Amino acid sequence: MEFEQKYRYHSDLPFFVKVMANIDGKFGMFVTESVTQRGHRIQAKREITVEVVSNGIDFSPLNYDTVDDVLDTIEQEGIMDFKVHLRYSYLDGKYNRVPFRGDIYLVRAILEHELLVLQINHIDGPKRTECGRVADTIIDELRRGS
């Protein structure tokens, strides 16, 4: 387990899933090492795509359009697995957006008796974003109640 954090949580799993669906498509800017020039820092864009486990094994897109189908199948409490893809890009000298290798995280949410446990593992990519940062993003969105 790379990252595990416990939080007080006063809602249910369906609400958590709705918030995760609303995170899909969001993006922000961050500073990271240049892809082409070692030692140089660049301003990059980080865009989030979210998937949720279905049938216990496969992952399928989780977003505004698909969330209602998922909500029909889940309990108030329990365990849900998500895959969070972070896609990175930057603007080159001619202001063209250039994509570069992103990161993928497995996120497990365990909800029991108003206690939410987030477990996050980095599974692919250069790890330009810490697991804790992924958790912070989720918690920020939960607090915002998106």
The end-to-end CA distance of the chain, in Å, is: 28
* pLDDT tens, position by position, 35-90: 988 999 999 999 999 999 987 789 999 999 999 999 988 999 999 999 999 999 99
78 inside domain: yes
Structure tokens of 140?
């920020």
What percent of the chain has a predicted confidence (pLDDT) above 90?
Answer: 90
**Phi and psi torsions of 84, nearest 5°:** -110, 120
Among candidate residues 82, 98, 97, 85, the one with its CA nearest the CA of residue 128: 85
CB distance 141 to 133 below 8 Å:
no
Task: Give residue-wise pLDDT tens across range 97-137.
Answer: 999 999 999 999 999 999 999 999 999 999 999 999 999 99
pTM, rounded to two decimals: 0.94
Angle, CA of 43, 83 and 116, to the nearest 5°: 100
Range of the structural domain that residue 11 is part of: 3-25+49-85+101-144
How many domains are contained in the chain?
1
Asked whether residue 135 is domain-assigned, the answer is yes
Read off the CATH number of the domain in which 124 is found. Answer: 3.30.310
Whether 56 is covered by a domain: the verdict is yes
